[in-house]
Chain A
Amino acid sequence: MPRVIIPFPLRKHADNQREIVIHGDSLKETIERLWQQYPGFKTLNDDSVLVSIFINNKLVRTAFEKWDELSLKRDDEVSLVIPIAGG
């Protein structure tokens, strides 16, 4: 099953776990299940937040958009990163 890697600043949403194993055949399914299990992540689904999504260390998305196009293999590793910004 795909593993979702949570960077330190987001771990509060996941009981401070670094890695969560979630069943999902696509990125959309995996992320939706992540939200169901850890509702704190829903705050990321907001147009004021830029979320970068990596699959196996490759940046594939810079927002939660068109994610249903991406299928996942059972040993894929999904990482979420929110870029840090300032003025």
Chain B
Amino acid sequence: MTDKMCMVVSEGTFDKAYMPLIMGTTAASMGTEVHVFYTFFGTGLLKKTAKPKLPGIYRLFTGMFQKKMKAVGIPSHDEMMKQAMDMGVTFYACTTTMGLMGIKESDLKPGVKVLGAASFLKLANESKTTLFIG
């Protein structure tokens, strides 16, 4: 049976956006089944229009940072999410947050699923590892 790994993402800044993608694609490369659950401010990262910025005043340097990442082969947030999905990583939006923040299912990137806490906890219970990114 393949190992499972879960991640919870609760923040929507650039750094919190990339961490689950880096960990997720790496784990998928190592044959692990990966599930990433986005809640609170993390949920906005799953929107089609998502353009995450670095936290605080560092947000001004986001473009520069992104250029540097591109130079070392790390794709844009949107591209990397697609790549992760192709590798079998599953992304879930928290239904409660969607309700609270007025995010509709049609606002989400294609391929993103919606999930409640109980279903996520079931996945987490079956996983060897759960990481919290927030």
- Chain A bound to chain B: no
- Chain A residues engaging chain B, CB cutoff 8 angstroms: none
